[in-house]
Structure 1
Amino acid sequence: MTRPLVISDCDEVLMHMVVPFAQWVDEAHGVLFRMEDTSFANALKRKDCGTPLEAAEVWPLLDGFFRTEMARQYPIPGAVAAMAAIARVADIVILTNVGPDHQQRRADQLAALGLDAPVIGSRGGKGEPVRRLIEERAPSVTVFIDDLPNHHHSVAAAAPGVWRLHMVGEPAIAGRIPAAAHAHARIDEWAAAREWILARIAGNLPAPPL
């Protein structure tokens, strides 16, 4: 049995994303980002006429942002210090849905901040990648952190013994995203989140079913 494992998302957990993304699509593409519900795609509208973008137009914008504009991103308050504290007692893996094309950019982005952890650029639900990491590493206890409820559902199905923390570190959207039904806790600030994670690691028990 190896060390505890913390599997963390990046955007809106470790790094601000929607605010710098909104600034860029406005400046470069004439697109306004106004999140009025839980849908990221519905938040993107053409500045000149207010028409929502088609679903097929959303990923190219995200891809362009991650390809050329990641330097606009900045850390969620307390995230880097919390990860440093957690790394003293657990292994950390960053599981982020930027896809394989942007995996190295994300690793370089985090390493520049002092967070030198393996990065997996995935696509789709995170349950299977989490399950595979547990099979590979056999951790004594695992904690998963993400801002999107669907990923907590995915992990709950594929790896039910994982502790799941729902965190939305961006205040501009936190109030519009309900607590994930398949997470064990919702904490949006890192000071409290760090203590919750460390307590789960110290307890060294699998997560209970929800």
Structure 2
Amino acid sequence: MTPAERNRIEALARSERPLIICDIDEVVLEFVSPFMAFLESHDHELRTDSFQLTGNVYFKKTGEPADKATISEFLERFFNEHDSWQKPAEGARETLATIEAKHGVDIVYLTAMPPRHHARRRALLDRHGFPHPMIATEEAKGAAVATLIRHHPRRPVAFIDDLPPNHVSVLETVPDALALHLMAYRPLRALLPPMPKGVRTVESWAEAAEAIAEHLSNLAC
């Protein structure tokens, strides 16, 4: 992370405005579809038999499953060139711009990705019209959220993510946060484990915007 980006994060942490925290993969940017295309380009395929990568990536010519080390290598190679594959999730850019303008919120992107890929993903977000600060971390997301609200722990928080464990981590840190589950790749939704208590599933960015507006309105009453 550059010093300039660190300064943006620090300024955001000192703000008292409502905070919208967005995951990137499968929330702001498509991930599953581009990763499938990437695997196809390397003679492999992802079968959505269950909600995991290990055991579901196969070598197309033999039908043999790829082992964990091979999948890790594919993920690293994908992140090294993901800016050539990933596109915005439907409605993400326009909806976030509307939420920001209408409700006067702060927005930050929080992605579970090795920090060494920060610059490439930062450039990709900028190219697609997502100018807000970004944090890349391999730590629990609740720890990053705690840092973001350390100056104003009572500021309203909405957290949007596709994975149940991330919601658990954040709700342990901010129990009264609005937790929204959103996933761009619909075929995988049925394979997800149950959402943790307190997490609301939304089917689209339009529905997420309605939930955020309702949440902020209730807090203002």
The TM-score normalised by the length of structure 2 is 0.85
Matched with 1:105 is: 120
Q: Deviations over 1:91-118 (max 9, x none)?
A: 0010001220111222211111221011
The answer for unaligned runs of 5 or more in structure 2 is 1-14
Q: Is 1:140 the equivalent of 2:155?
A: yes
74-83 vs 45-54, greater mean Cα deviation: 45-54
Residue 135 of structure 1 aligns to a residue whose secondary structure is coil
Matched with 1:11 is: 25
Distance 1:54 1:171, change over 3 A: same
1:22 equivalent among 5, 20, 36: 36
Distance 1:175 1:48, change over 3 A: same
Shift of 1:204: 2.5
Residue 93 of structure 2 aligns to a residue whose secondary structure is helix
The TM-score normalised by the length of structure 1 is 0.89
Shift of 1:138: 4.3
Contact 1:7–1:92, Cα closer than 8 Å, also in 2: yes
Q: Deviations over 1:24-51 (max 9, x none)?
A: 11212x2111111111223212222223
Shift of 1:58: 2.0
Distance 1:139 1:71, change over 3 A: farther
Shift of 1:14: 1.0
- Residue identity in the other structure for 1:13: V
Residue 40 of structure 1 aligns to a residue whose secondary structure is coil
Residues 103-182 of structure 1 correspond to what in structure 2 (within 5 A)?
103-136=118-151, 138=153, 140-182=155-197
State, as a whole percentage, how many aligned pairs show the same letter: 30
Contact 2:29–2:88, Cα closer than 8 Å, also in 1: yes
Distance 1:94 1:175, change over 3 A: same
Q: Is 1:46 the equivalent of 2:80?
A: no
- Residue identity in the other structure for 2:116: D
Q: Is 1:33 the equivalent of 2:50?
A: no
* Alignment RMSD: 1.8
Shift of 1:183: 4.2
> Which whole-Å CA distance do the structure 1 matches of 2:76 and 2:61 have between them?
23
Work out the number of aligned pairs and report it. Answer: 204
